Amino acid sequence: MATAKTQATKTGNTVEAKGDVKFALPDARRGLYAYVGAADYAVAQLRALPRYQGQVVGALRALPQTLRTSFNGLQGRVNETYVDVSSRVTDTYSDFADRGEKLVGNIRKDPATQEAVEQAKTAKSQVKAARTSVKKAASDAGSATGKASDKIG
């Protein structure tokens, strides 16, 4: 569940607003999974597009007559469509989230992904070690410079 906290300050003709938004991590993940699932679905649909080329051409030819027929009964169907669409949006979002979660799970289990994660961990530890060495060398150089300046000065 998300929570929001805002603070507004007015100065002359200017209003400054600051805000914090907090949400549970599972909610954020669900949204990301829905995004990944929607992208996966879009790719699947694009791959299937050549299969439907004949149907699309036929539908485009019939479009003017279809539009005339649709506009005649449009006003009566708007309210029922709104209710149906809101339900379908919720269902579709949930489907995309489930699809994305499954896809991310498969990617995480993939041996190539696991190997990349291990390589990243190794690189991270090597960078940490290098940072420590550089800090020590800089400290030693500073000490040596100080000692040299004492001898000279």
Sorted by sequence, the CB contacts under 8 Å of residue 34 that are 6+ apart come out as: 93, 96, 97, 100
Q: Which residues pair with 8 in a beta bridge?
A: 17
Contact (CB, 8 A) for 53 and 34: no
Question: How much is the pTM?
Answer: 0.42
For residues 138 and 72, what is the distance between their CA atoms, to the nearest angstrom?
A: 80
Q: State residue 142's pLDDT score.
A: 78
Q: State residue 24's pLDDT score.
A: 64
**Which stretches of the chain score pLDDT less than 70?**
1-6, 15, 17, 19-27, 71-76, 79, 153
Q: State residue 20's pLDDT score.
A: 66
